[in-house]
Amino acid sequence: MATVKQWHESLNFSKMRLSHLLGQPMTNVRIAEVFDQIADLLEFEGANPFRVRAYRNAARIVRDLPDAITSILADPQRKLTDIDGIGDDLADKITTLAATGSLPFLEELLARVPESVLALMRIPGLGPKKAAVLYKELGVKTLADLKAACDSHKVQELKGFGAKTEQTILAGMTLAETAADRMLWAKADAIASNLLAHLKPLKEVKQLAAAGSYRRGSETVGDLDLLVDSTEPEKVMDRLAAYPDVAATIGRGDTKMSIRLEGGVQVDLRVVPEESFGAALLYFTGSKNHNIVLRGMAKDRGLKVNEYGIFRDDKFLAGRTEEEIYRMLDLPWIAPELREARQEFAWAAAGELPELIELADIRGDLHMHTTESDGRSTLAEMAAAAKALGHSYIAITDHSKRTSMANGLDSRRLLKQWSEIDALNAEKPGILVLKGVECDILEKGGLDIDDDTLAEADWVICSIHYGQNQSRQQITERILQAIENPNVAAIAHPTGRLINRRKPYEVDLEAVYKAAAKHGKFLELNSNPERLDLDDIHCAAAKQHGVKIVINTDAHRADALAGLRYGIMQARRAGLTKEDVANTRTWVQMRKLIGKTHS
């Protein structure tokens, strides 16, 4: 785990990092990061909340734009102010950022805030407003100051904090220290895909692959490991050194090379001969525990297995492919997602390795949002995008009214939307659009929409957005009540976690599994790469209890519907098959499972 000092130095929010960021080409993501930073600094200073919100909204808008800001600026027929939510002032700042890579207003803000305070703002459970109170009331300027103030219980004495907040801050520091060294799988995937695409055209490259926790589909990834089959490692390493995003070369040998990218990610390249490529791929994919079992099995057979191949004494036996290695150990090939030394060897011994679910098995997506609540695409746009992906049905599940920050729908607006869905289906759009809702489970218990209205829905998925700090018993009871409601089909993101940002709330999942099995309800695997909730362990546990999983995107814009693959990866790590996932079925089959007789 990183020390507090190491974490502080690694944060993207230090002045040095931000200065570096402003020197880079201004992509949409980088512009959004600058606006997020401005919002944090303004909130820390106690600026007008509407001004803070304007920058946060601008960050979200720019981040979600399908077109590059630079493309919009280069088109004389388009103006930034034509984008909803971007006024003249924000448009000027975006133009300045894109043109110069810097922003005087941000530099002014940074000059007024101590550098060490920036790290405080990103601790889960803290944020700019509370960081400002700690700074002004207790003189907390560094992470070390904050930990000392919490340990001496000075924080809980502040107005608006208390003992529970103090504990939340300490837990957030621990979470953030760990998170600082690892990125979401989705981010690793984007980086790995670009690196592989950069290396692939080189004629000296015969085979290449990304290994490590990335290949196993781990929800977070540290460093990236690349393997290349080539007889000319110098040319391969020269090609990697020419990758546009390289910040530094950490080390370079005869067949190994390590680089650091501009974003701080370390990439380790190994060039191996063809006869060892499979062995190296198996070894560097891991996991460590999976490899330990393999080495033990090899030893029992008088063999030795390592990254170069499998040997008897010093005689090379195999290594070109992973299948060769596994075969020498009397094992079938095991999918990378299962290589965690959990159940894969027992399954293999019994001839029961699961046929893991594939993206193509999914027939419909049952959790998404439109412009009626907090989505960025219309009903028709979501339907068209889902059809293009090959789905046969989708459920539109905008938020219910309790989620006021997301412009949630009351019964009247919900019924109106359902009438629009009926009208769309009457036009035969080539995909069945289901009338649904993501209904909040209220803090006091019960649901946010009345039962008479919910009874008219095709699909009701329920979730907790508020009261996440309640006791384990309270949260569990709320979820169990929802499961018992005959109108409810599934529970969305059942633990409420946000990877690297927010821990799961306290809930008795064993009780939830049992209730879901008893009442024939589903639990969601939310494919949002920041959620992946349920996680792989809990998905496997749900399967053991006979509970079906639904894999949904929770998409808030049309292009996010393609993110279903993140959930598929997590499901594969859980050992789920097509049969274990409810929405691999047709809607007619699904309708029978949830007891719906209409639509």
Listed in order, the ranges of the chain carrying CATH 3.30.210.10 are 287-353
Listed in order, the ranges of the chain carrying CATH 3.30.460.10 are 182-272
Interstrand relation of 364-365 and 393-396 (parallel, antiparallel or unpaired):
parallel
Residues with Cβ < 8 Å from 111, sequence gap 6 or more? none
Q: How many CB atoms lie within 10 A of CB 299?
A: 11
Residue type, 227: L
Fold adopted by 182-272: Beta Polymerase; domain 2 (3.30.460)
pLDDT at residue number 144:
80
Whether 22 and 96 have beta carbons less than 8 Å apart is answered as no
pLDDT at residue number 24:
47
pLDDT at residue number 7:
38
The token pair at 539 is 């998905």
185-199 vs 233-241: helix crossing angle, rounded to 10: 120
Taking the C-alpha atoms of residue 369 and residue 376, their distance in angstroms, rounded to an integer, is: 8
Whether 364 and 389 have beta carbons less than 8 Å apart is answered as no
Taking the C-alpha atoms of residue 71 and residue 74, their distance in angstroms, rounded to an integer, is: 5
Whether 459 and 436 have beta carbons less than 8 Å apart is answered as yes
**Strands in 187-308 per DSSP E:** 207-210, 220-221, 224-229, 246-252, 256-261, 266-272, 304-306
CA-CA distances (angstroms) from residue 58 to 12, 24, 29, 89, 234?
20, 20, 12, 11, 46
Q: Is the domain 287-353 a CATH 3.30.210.10 member?
A: yes
Rg (C-alpha) for the chain, rounded Å, is: 26
Question: 3-state SS string over 481-539?
Answer: HHHHCCCCCEECCCCCCECCCECCCCCCHHHHHHHHHHHCCEEEEECCCCCCECCHHHH
Listed in order, the ranges of the chain carrying CATH 1.10.150.110 are 4-179
Q: How many CB atoms lie within 10 A of CB 21?
A: 18
| Burial of 430 (C-beta count, 10 Å sphere; 0-12/13-18/19+) | exposed
Taking the C-alpha atoms of residue 235 and residue 182, their distance in angstroms, rounded to an integer, is: 30
pLDDT at residue number 123:
77
Three-class DSSP category at 438: strand
Q: List, in sequence order, the alpha helices (H) in 139-161.
A: 143-151
pLDDT at residue number 161:
86
pTM of the predicted structure, to 2 decimals: 0.76
The token pair at 332 is 């079938």
| Burial of 380 (C-beta count, 10 Å sphere; 0-12/13-18/19+) | middle
The token pair at 90 is 């924000």
Q: What is the pLDDT along the chain (599 residues), one digit of tens a residue?
A: 344 444 343 333 333 334 344 444 577 878 988 998 899 899 888 889 889 989 988 888 887 776 778 878 988 899 999 988 899 999 999 999 988 888 999 999 988 887 767 777 767 667 788 888 888 888 888 778 888 888 899 888 888 888 888 887 887 776 666 555 689 999 999 999 999 999 999 999 999 999 999 999 999 999 999 999 999 999 999 999 999 999 889 889 999 999 989 878 899 999 999 999 999 999 999 999 999 999 999 999 999 999 999 999 999 999 999 999 999 999 999 999 999 999 999 999 999 999 999 999 999 999 999 999 999 999 999 999 999 999 999 999 999 999 988 899 999 999 999 999 999 999 999 999 999 999 999 999 999 999 999 999 999 999 999 999 999 999 999 999 999 999 999 999 999 999 988 889 999 999 999 999 999 999 999 999 999 999 999 999 999 999 999 999 999 999 999 999 999 999 999 999 999 999 999 999 999 998 764 44
Q: How many CB atoms lie within 10 A of CB 284?
A: 20
Residues with Cβ < 8 Å from 550, sequence gap 6 or more? 366, 367, 461, 490, 522, 523, 524, 525, 581, 582, 583
| Burial of 478 (C-beta count, 10 Å sphere; 0-12/13-18/19+) | buried
Fold adopted by 4-179: DNA polymerase; domain 1 (1.10.150)
Listed in order, the ranges of the chain carrying CATH 3.20.20.140 are 359-594
pLDDT at residue number 169:
83
pLDDT at residue number 10:
38
**Domain at 359-594, CATH homologous superfamily:** Metal-dependent hydrolases (3.20.20.140)
Three-class DSSP category at 470: coil
